[in-house]
Amino acid sequence: MKKLLLLSLSVGLLFGPIDAVSANTENFFVNDAMIEELENENLINTRNFSENSDSKVDIKGDTVTVDVQNENGGLIIDASTLEPRTSYVMTFKYRKTDGYLNSFGGHTDGIWEDNVVYLDGKKTSEFSDNKSAFRADDEEVHEVVIRFTTPRDESPKSRLIIQPNRGDFDTVTVEMTDFYLVEEEVFDALHEETEATSESNESESESAESSSESSNN
């Protein structure tokens, strides 16, 4: 039975150090073929999002708009219901809608490991790095994939915090969508399967085109 995650807003401790990461560092993103299965396995429910004095949150359907008031603002996921010593992958998309965006990162409460970010398919750094999920001060949609391993022991204080303008006083409004959180082995299996299917389809298409050209000649 899936466990829904409770979400709030706050500040906490930094991520732990990065260890080995199993994912490829190139072209690592959520493809459309993965969406249905990710929705079936998803541990996040946006109805459980909330806010604190450092941010304002507006939820419409599956879209979450976060208005960051200062450097402590951000969206917090209460991860106390996750299994201990287990690897997970969380993904979401964001775009700036107002203000000035000059950084994007986050952190956790508790001793978490293997916290590494892929931004628009490319590996960047630890999520605690202010620039780990930052591309530019633009209004384009950016996709973030975060890999992490939960602490060895269960803790009611384990939380994952998403922070636009982490460590900066500029105000900014960011719209976030497509939140998914699943165990790492589920994500990797889906990613590998869909990538293999995509490559197979491309190969078949190229073969068909080649055969067609040969027949015409």
pLDDT tens string for the chain (217 positions)?
Answer: 444 444 433 333 333 333 333 444 455 778 888 899 999 999 987 777 777 768 888 989 889 999 998 888 888 877 778 888 899 999 999 999 999 999 999 887 666 777 899 999 999 999 989 999 999 999 999 999 999 988 887 777 777 889 999 888 889 999 999 999 999 999 999 988 887 775 555 555 555 555 555 566 5
**Residues in Cβ contact with 58 at an 8 Å cutoff, skipping those fewer than 6 apart:** 64, 65, 67
Give pTM, 2 decimals.
Answer: 0.78
Q: What are phi and psi of 61, to 5 degrees?
A: 65, -125
The SS3 call for residue 122 is strand
| Tokens of residue 44, six digits | 């996040």
| Tokens of residue 120, six digits | 């628009």
| Tokens of residue 143, six digits | 């996709």
Measured distance CA(75)–CA(68) in Å, rounded: 9
Helices (H), the chain: 35-41, 184-216
